[in-house]
Amino acid sequence: MTVHPPLEQIPADILAAADYEDRAAQHIPPPTLAWLAGGSGTEQTLRANREAFITVRITPRLLNNFQTASTCQSLCGTSLEHPILLAPVGHQQLLHTEAERAVARAADATGTCMVASTLSSLPLEDVCAATAASKWFQLYWQPRREDTLRLLSRAEAAGYQAIVLTLDTPVQALSRRAHIAGFRLPSDTPPNLAECKPLPQRALAPGQSILLHGMMSEAPDWDDLEWLVTQTRLPVLAKGVSHPADAVRLKTLGVAGQIVSNHGGRSLDGVPASLHCLAAVREAVGGNYPLLLDSGIRSGTDVFKALALGADAVLIGRLQGYALATAGALGVAHMLKLLREELEVCMALAGTPTLSDINPGCLMGD
């Protein structure tokens, strides 16, 4: 199958943000597409994420006045023109030569914030310097605290406005789909981790597990989290929350906001759709506390449903990758523009002029 280079203009047949998914297959080699699209295990959670959005229904209301309509808001000190952020997606050079720089330009052009991954193809300083717009840095905990600290202080010095600490993947395997397609991650260490060192190998006692006693001994725990939030002046958000009790504990320990997420079905397979976890997490943390959601969003009505169930904003993972591969910065900006327009159409038809008008009452009960 021929893989076409990224386009320099938007294809006329892309009418909805979700159209980028089909289109991207022309621009991404099949093994890389399997990596981007796939989920863990037998992809139960990947499917559940999509099904959840389909089962939630909106109840439209009539005749509401839109003179003060707005999609703007501020989250953890970052001003946004609309509630659709770009999720951290590592290794973007696999999708486009301009990689995270293109995504940064798209975020800037569309009034939103990108979250740059620890596993970015470009150094975090280059990504931040690509535009003047606000950006957040996604942090993966490193086995040695000094390496985690170095990433934190580099992110602060570069000018990021918040840290997003991902907690749902202390271990992660390549998906079965990617394995079968012959995908391999780049063998080079991602540039942000070039100075990080592994811990000396821990001798395992007979009968001990490489995974449970080896790899998991390097994973962060609650003490590490408590320490981390005291090490930076930036707000720290936790990504990968599903359980209300975790959400309450994170909030109590000073985490400034949370992202309800199952890593887009790429972490533990068999967990519920993130959308289905959202309302309970919102109830647990209370109002007036930044709560975001990702995993499965493909349209503006999906964004509306997430907001109705308690999210202040959402993040977009795979659609970002599909649009990046299809048409670089232009593609990602266009995808975001479409998502925003789809959300605005939904707000107009549902009768909700502002984001704060979108609440559980906008949804149909079972």
Candidates 166, 242, 299, 352; binder of ligand FNR (CB under 6 A) is 166
Q: Which helix (H) or strand (E) holds 257?
A: strand 257-260
Q: How far is the CB of 334 from ligand FNR (least distance, A)?
A: 17
Point out which span in 279-287, 301-309, 316-324, 337-345 binds ligand FNR (CB under 6 A). 316-324
Strand 73-75 relative to strand 78-80, pairing: antiparallel
Give the residue nearest to ligand FNR (CB). Answer: 317
Q: How far is the CB of 68 from ligand FNR (least distance, A)?
A: 31
Q: By CB under 6 A, tell whether 90 contacts ligand FNR.
A: yes
SS3 291: strand
Phi-psi group of 38: left, alpha or beta (phi > 0 → left; psi -120 to 50 → alpha; rest → beta): beta
Instruction: Select 172 or 356, whichever has its Cβ closest to ligand FNR.
Output: 172
Closest CA to 126 of 105, 95, 142: 105
Point out which span in 284-292, 301-309, 315-323, 342-350 binds ligand FNR (CB under 6 A). 315-323
Q: By CB under 6 A, tell whether 305 contacts ligand FNR.
A: no
Catalytic status, residue 263: yes
Candidates 105, 282, 318, 334; binder of ligand FNR (CB under 6 A) is 318
Q: How far is the CB of 150 from ligand FNR (least distance, A)?
A: 18
Q: By CB under 6 A, tell whether 261 contacts ligand FNR.
A: yes
- Within 8 A by CB and 6+ apart from 187, the residues are none
Site string for ligand FNR, 112-151 (x = CB under 6 A): -----x-x------------------x-------------
Closest CA to 197 of 189, 205, 208, 209: 189
Structure token digits, residue 233: 């002046």
Q: By CB under 6 A, tell whether 28 contacts ligand FNR.
A: no
What b-and-e string marks burial along 44-66, b requiring 16 or more CB atoms within 10 Å of the CB?
ebbebbbebbeebebeeeeeeee
Point out which span in 88-96, 141-149, 229-237, 242-250 binds ligand FNR (CB under 6 A). 88-96
SS3 134: coil
Instruction: Select 95 or 133, whichever has its Cβ closest to ligand FNR.
Output: 95
Within residues 279-298, the interface with ligand FNR by CB under 6 A covers 294-297
Structure token digits, residue 247: 């959400």
- Residue 138 CA to residue 141 CA, distance in Å, equals 10
Q: How far is the CB of 233 from ligand FNR (least distance, A)?
A: 22
Q: How far is the CB of 208 from ligand FNR (least distance, A)?
A: 29
Q: Give start and end residues of each alpha helix (H) in the chain.
A: 19-24, 30-37, 44-55, 99-109, 124-129, 145-158, 176-180, 222-229, 244-252, 274-285, 300-308, 318-350
Instruction: Select 296 or 310, whichever has its Cβ closest to ligand FNR.
Output: 296
Q: By CB under 6 A, tell whether 83 contacts ligand FNR.
A: no
User: Three-state SS across 325-350?
Assistant: HHHHHHHHHHHHHHHHHHHHHHHHHH
Catalytic residues: 263
Residues lying near ligand FNR in the complex (CB under 6 A): 36, 49, 87-90, 117, 119, 138, 166, 239, 261, 263-264, 266, 294-297, 316-318, 321
